[in-house]
Amino acid sequence: MRYEVIAVIDEALRNVAQHAGASSVSVGLTAAGNDAPVFPGRGGGPITPRAVQLRIRLLAQRQGLFKRVHPHLLRHSFASHILESSGDLRGVQELLGHADIATTQIYTHLDFQHLAKVYDAAHPRAKRRSGK
């Protein structure tokens, strides 16, 4: 079985513990010596990647997002936002678990032409004045 190491803030741990009905924030965490899945499926084992994909798609549709939303899109958005706010490519590399910095550079590539179009369309001062 493949395991992922993830960074989790205390508030998220409390929410997971509350959701599971546990009094301890170490519910489901292997570091605490408990191999129970944090998000169990119907049979008590871990939920499948496909179940995660379907849940994310359903939640996106409930919010009125009909773009194809999937776990990797969330990962890409996370990486892009962290890189934009910090500018720390090595830190993003470490958070994503990439062995090679080139992978992170490709993964977090932003289409600046697209961003410029969105900016021009949304920002009132970015629009060119006609006749000048």
Question: What is the reported pLDDT for 3?
Answer: 66
Residue keyed to tokens 């301890």 = 24
Question: What is the reported pLDDT for 97?
Answer: 86
Work out the end-to-end distance of the chain between its first and last CA atoms, rounded to an integer number of angstroms. 64
- pLDDT by residue for the chain (132 residues), tens only, comes to 666 667 778 888 888 778 777 655 444 454 445 667 777 788 888 889 999 999 999 999 999 988 889 998 888 888 888 887 887 888 888 888 888 888 888 766 665 665 677 777 777 776 655 444
Question: What is the reported pLDDT for 4?
Answer: 66
125: amino acid identity, one letter: R
Residue keyed to tokens 């939920």 = 47
> pTM for the full model?
0.59
